[in-house]
Amino acid sequence: MAKEFRFPDVGEGITEGEIVKWHVKVGDIVDEDQTIAEVETDKAIVEIPSPYSGKILKLNFKEKDIVKVGEVLAAIGGKEEGVAEETEQQPEEIAAQAEKPAAGIVGEITESKKEIKEVKATPKIRKLARDLGVALEIINGTGSEGRITEEDVRRASETKEKDEGERGKKAEPKKKAKYDFYGFLDRIPLRGVRRATAKRMAESALKTALVTHFDQADVSGLAKIRTGLKARAEEKGVKLTFLPFIVKAVISALKKHPVLNATLDEDEEEIIVKKYYNIGIAVDMPDGLIVPVIKLAEHKSIFQLAEEIQNLAEQAKDRTIDMADLKGGTFSITNVGMIGGEYATPIINYPEVAILATLRIDDRPRIEDGEIKIKKTLPLCLSFDHRVVDGAEVGRFMNDLIYFLENPGLILVDQESE
């Protein structure tokens, strides 16, 4: 008897993925745990193993299709069973096969669901649901302890309106122009990392009151120390950049200004200060940004940080990074210095409170004792959520950050053990 294999919940809040490659075709015999497909999520490319042994009777998606958690990827039957005829399954038919709706997805309410479903929602959220005509009983809350959030309700409302608009009619293929009035066009599908980046940037812009503070640090002394340590780093097989020093300085400043190492719980109206330091490092990809997270960075030396940054960046670029390494961040750093630039307004990695952009280290004029001197300086651009922290506190944070960068001996006390 054929068994349905549904796209599993791979964790970390993933709700959908793009089929990158099928490793099987209809009629193939597979073993349990054999990889049958590679799926690209907004975080990494994951291998999908078969939960059963048997024959592939049907594949419901093609390569480059988007599949949502719970949708049927394939039908797997006994080795002697005949394969199904190749018929294209309509999106609405696929969606109807899901065992349960994803977070925020609306569907029909059965009496049994009404009896067993516990709804966790504030009065404000309940009123919003009534206004939008959404039943809370069939929404899977994404908030703490399954609490239903405003975003869950609005997502469910959008899905409901879309379903109602498409119900009863077959979608016609949309014709896309290959040129406009001025010339020919290329169309690049918004997929994978770029698609996730677009969503996260829009979410951050919508949910934060973003302000950016600009400053500079004289890193002439730090540059000399880094040069002196490069040989030791090479002996350890590590490329020593300025970034590990910046991470150390950031942590030292965050300890003096903990509100920047926090998140805002809008439902409970609380600022949640994190008493640990998981530092996200933005990695430039051809199709977007991935932010691996260095866990408990406060306990790691300069060389340990350099090695971990190097390893995580390599894993991110070849898409083999573990999804656990992409979550849990408390503060992010985006280093565009290797590319260039003087100023930037980085977008906060929501739900964090702040993000630091470091620009190109270069020789720049500075005035000391009434004289113009050329110093190696580092432009610093800190974007912060003004709902949580005010400009004066950010100014004090930046002053301390600059102090630690300009006095690097204070952040190197743990190197003696190396």
Catalytic residue numbers, as ranges: 386
- CA proximity to 274, closest of 329, 200, 209: 329
Contact call for residues 325 and 312 (beta carbons, < 8 A): yes
For the chain, helix (H) and strand (E) counts, in that order, are 9, 19
Contact call for residues 262 and 333 (beta carbons, < 8 A): no
CA distance readout (Å), 322 to 43, 45, 200, 292, 315: 9, 9, 20, 9, 8
Q: Which residues contact 77 (CB under 8 A, 6 or more apart)?
A: 1, 2, 3, 54, 55, 57
Element (H, E) at 403: helix 391-406
Both tokens of 41, joined, read 């999520």
DSSP string, 127-156: HHHHHHT--GGG----SGGGPPPHHHHHHH
CA distance readout (Å), 19 to 25, 188, 190, 315: 14, 17, 14, 20
Half-sphere exposure in the Cβ direction for 194 (13 Å, CA):
6
Both tokens of 243, joined, read 């970034």
Pairing of strands 279-281, 331-335: parallel
Please state the φ and ψ torsions of residue 10, each to the nearest 5 degrees: -85, 5
- The residue written with tokens 């340990």 in the block is 304
- Please give the order of strands across the beta sheet that includes 45-49: 45-49, 35-40, 16-22, 66-68
